[in-house]
């Protein structure tokens, strides 16, 4: 029987069984290489590379180029609906009970953004009805898009978007595109007025100045990545004081060349500096990671027990954009699991 603080890093099965919450995962990156191969054959598109080596990249720029290639195969609302359904099923199989999932309309050139987001929401709804993860949507602007486009998206999301939409994201390659947060100041202000949660990728390919910019101009509730905040003590203090959560993705940062391995990742020092951190997968199929695998790696590297996995999960619930009733329900589901583990460990103590 697994215990909560067995003193050693928890095994992958115990982590998978733990009811988890994920806040930084891209729906387009939940597509498997096999499904991409099927879609390429259906549309008569030659594979960019053989399926076995499709998901191999050395830099963020290369990853995003390949990302754009396979997303071009996502051509219909039916494909979008099924992708969302399959993503919720995959996440549930990994023990995730609730997820806020990013989708980037810029990566779907064959669909208008409104039917795309409606189709994804419908897939999540159907999946939830079948007992899979409860997935909410955070549509994401790409940093190269215009403020006008982004404002149109936000108006629609906040006034007539599906109820599964809970927030707004922003992603792209900050290193290539430069300083783009100021462009979206009014867009994010409008998102706040309309009651949408606000997050943005920053401090991944940009340094701490990208995080400062995003906080100052976009008034974020939380930051996706944000790991390069570690280079600026004043920023660490600011994040800790204001309790701004960083949605960290260790393996993704290793794959795109930010760190040589998880042992050199900033996650430990960020936590030591008092910054609220959640653990996330970012691009599950496209980087061959699962949230359970990420927790296992972080646990091995930082000496975490299941108590630390629990604490990080509760932090994710507290940073989630869902309403407080739903957050309370997620905490109750965690309570129930923890209680079962505690009862098992008590039984073990009585029957050594």
86 binds, among Zn ion, ligand ADE, none (CB under 5 to 8 A by kind): none
* 243 vs 302: CA distance, rounded Å: 22
Q: How many residues bind Zn ion (CB under 5 A)?
A: 1
Nearest distance from residue 226's CB to Zn ion, in Å? 11
Q: Residue from 283, 294, 297, 310 that binds ligand ADE (CB under 6 A)?
A: 283
* 267 vs 265: CA distance, rounded Å: 6
Cβ proximity to Zn ion: between 4 and 120 the closer is 120
Nearest distance from residue 142's CB to ligand ADE, in Å? 8
Q: Residue from 181, 199, 252, 281 that binds ligand ADE (CB under 6 A)?
A: 252
- Of all residues in the chain, what percent are helix, strand and coil, respectively (each to 5)? 55, 15, 30
The full DSSP string for 88-139 is: HHHHHHTTEEEEEEEE-GGG-TTS-HHHHHHHHHHHHHHHHHTT--EEEEEE
Neighbours of 242 (CB within 10 A): 11
Cβ proximity to ligand ADE: between 3 and 245 the closer is 245
Q: Residue from 81, 100, 134, 204 that binds ligand ADE (CB under 6 A)?
A: 204
> Is 289 in a helix, a strand, or coil?
coil
The full DSSP string for 184-209 is: GHHHHHHHHHTT-EE--EESSSS-HH
Q: How many residues bind ligand ADE (CB under 6 A)?
A: 10
Residues 256-295 that bind Zn ion (CB under 5 A): 282
Task: Say whether residue 26 binds ligand ADE (CB under 6 A).
Answer: yes
Question: Parallel, antiparallel, or unpaired: how do β-strands 222-225 and 134-142 relate?
Answer: unpaired
Spot the catalytic one: 22, 28, 81, 204: 204
Q: Residue from 118, 171, 221, 308 that binds ligand ADE (CB under 6 A)?
A: 171
Cβ proximity to ligand ADE: between 143 and 190 the closer is 143
**Is 216 a residue of the active site?**
no
Residues 102-161 that bind ligand ADE (CB under 6 A): none
Q: Residue from 94, 100, 282, 308 that binds ligand ADE (CB under 6 A)?
A: 282
Q: Cα 99 from chain centroid?
A: 8
Q: Under a CB-based contact definition with an 8 Å cutoff, are residues 286 and 31 in contact?
A: yes
Which residues have a catalytic role annotated? 204
Q: Which residues bind ligand ADE (CB under 6 A)?
A: 26, 29, 60, 171-172, 201, 204, 252, 282-283
Binding site for Zn ion (CB under 5 A): 282
């Amino acid at each position: 029987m697994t215990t909560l603080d067995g003193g050693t890093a928890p095994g992958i099965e115990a982590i998978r069984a733990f009811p988890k919450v994920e806040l930084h995962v891209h729906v387009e990156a939940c597509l498997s290489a096999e499904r991409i191969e099927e879609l390429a054959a259906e549309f008569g598109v030659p594979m960019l590379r053989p399926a076995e080596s499709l998901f191999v990249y050395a830099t963020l720029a290369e990853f995003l180029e390949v990302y754009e290639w396979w997303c071009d195969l996502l051509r219909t609302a039916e494909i979008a609906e099924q992708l969302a359904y399959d993503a919720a099923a995959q996440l549930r199989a990994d023990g995730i009970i609730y997820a806020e999932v990013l989708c980037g309309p810029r990566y779907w050139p064959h669909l208008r953004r409104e039917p795309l987001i409606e189709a994804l929401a419908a897939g999540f709804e159907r999946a939830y009805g079948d007992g899979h993860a409860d997935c909410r949507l955070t549509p994401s602007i790409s940093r190269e898009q215009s403020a006008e486009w982004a404002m149109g998206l936000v108006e629609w999301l906040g006034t007539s978007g599906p109820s599964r939409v809970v927030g707004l994201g922003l992603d792209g390659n900050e290193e290539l595109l430069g300083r783009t947060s100021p462009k979206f100041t009014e867009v994010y202000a409008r998102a706040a007025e309309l009651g949408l949660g606000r997050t943005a990728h920053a401090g991944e390919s940009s340094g701490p100045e990208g995080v400062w910019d995003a906080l100052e101009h976009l008034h974020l509730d939380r930051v996706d990545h944000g790991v390069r905040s570690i280079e600026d003590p004043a920023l660490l203090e600011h994040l800790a004081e204001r309790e701004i959560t960083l949605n960290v993705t260790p393996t993704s940062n290793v794959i795109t060349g930010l760190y040589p391995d998880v042992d050199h990742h900033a996650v430990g020092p960020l936590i030591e500096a008092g910054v609220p951190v959640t653990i996330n997968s970012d691009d599950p199929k496209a980087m061959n990671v699962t949230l359970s695998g990420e927790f296992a790696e972080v646990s091995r590297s930082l000496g975490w027990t299941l108590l630390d996995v629990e604490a990080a999960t509760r932090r994710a619930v507290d940073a989630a954009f869902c309403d407080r009733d739903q957050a309370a329900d997620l905490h109750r589901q965690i309570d129930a699991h923890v209680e079962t583990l505690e009862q098992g460990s008590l039984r073990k103590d009585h029957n050594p």
